[in-house]
A and B are shown apart, each in its own frame.
Chain A
Amino acid sequence: MRTLILIAAVLGLGAAFIADAADDAAAEALVKKSGCLNCHSVDKKKAAPSYKDTAAKYKGKPDGEAKIVKHLTTNPTIKFDGKDEPHDSLKTKNEADVKNVANWILTR
């Protein structure tokens, strides 16, 4: 019985790990497809804040995910070189995919 529980736990952990990796890959692909990396980087200084900086700002906050989702879907006004411009949205209509990207950013 103990062996069965151990096998189930290992399989469960393995499945969770594979699912996480698949989610990460999907988030990265959508971020690339949407042109986000033209201005953002995971950990480097570019025209816009790095995802690590964004994660540090919102990680652990109850509305962190919702704020990032809003930023990625409503074309909020941002500043570049002192001028206002609209922030681009993710190239998807799928809410789950947007949330996946928001969580991917939060875990950088």
Chain B
Amino acid sequence: MLRLFARSNPSADRPRWRIFLGLAGVAALFLGVAALLVVGGAAGLAWTNTEKFCIGCHEMRDNVYAEYKGTIHDVNRTGVRAICSDCHVPREPAALIKRKMRASLELWGHIRGVVDTKEKFEAHRTQLAHNVWRRMKETDSLECRNCHKRESMDPDKQGPKAKARHEKGLADGKTCIDCHFGIAHKEPAGPSPEELFGVAKTAAAAQ
């Protein structure tokens, strides 16, 4: 009887409600902070994918970006462009974050001025290109394929030469970068991606 009375007595329930409200408040605050971090993080990641961000440092603007200007991925018949991040950053969330974390190490290179002059950049060009080619080989040229879908490439709409080369390349297990290297930036001296890393690393060859 006393228990029933206590339950129906609003003054006795007040502390419970207070605890509940307190917990709800903490949960809401936690969710709010988490949402802010997620939204802020996503916005930050999106910002680091913009052309403006990429050419914010003179190392990129005066070298690779200057070389990219006027190439087929910058200017073409349809006006559809591929900017830096389209070719150098994966779209899949896990791979994107992994790439961004790795790229953050490049800030250390920027601070130390590893490629802060034309001469230093040229001295590192081959190594920088090899880093990109290695990743392209390991991912079967993922960033190329984000736009150039193999299943959507109609051989009958290609020129006879392109058609013959694509057929042979695919049959040999080649990936895009094996042939399409040095298309947006100057080609470094030395071996090609295929000569460096072979053809067996491509996903197409493994299938």
Contacts and interface: CB of A to CB of B under 8 A. Distances in A.
B16 interface: no
Given A39-B165, A42-B187, A47 B179 contact: yes
B139 interface: no
A46 B192 contact: yes
Interface in B42-101: none
A80 B179 CA distance: 15
Identify whether the interface residues of B are mostly helix, strand, loop, or mixed. helix
Interface in A24-52: 37-39, 41-47
A2 interface: no
B170 to A, nearest CB: 12
B184 to A, nearest CB: 11
Given A46-B192, A47-B165, A41 B187 contact: yes
A45 B194 contact: yes
A68 B65 CA distance: 33
B195 A80 contact: no
Contact of B190 (A38, A43, A85): A43
B164 A85 contact: yes
A85 B165 CA distance: 12
B192 A44 contact: yes
A83 interface: yes
Given A41-B192, A42-B187, A44-B191, A83 B164 contact: yes
B182 interface: yes
Interface string A40-73: 0111111100000000000000000000000000
A27 to B, nearest CB: 14
Contact of B195 (A42, A44, A81): A44
Contacts of A47: 165, 179
A81 B168 contact: yes
Contacts of A45: 192, 194-195
B1 interface: no
Contacts of A42: 187, 189
A30 B167 CA distance: 27
The 10 closest A-B pairs by CB, nearest first: A44-B192, A81-B168, A45-B195, A43-B189, A80-B164, A47-B165, A45-B192, A81-B164, A44-B191, A42-B187
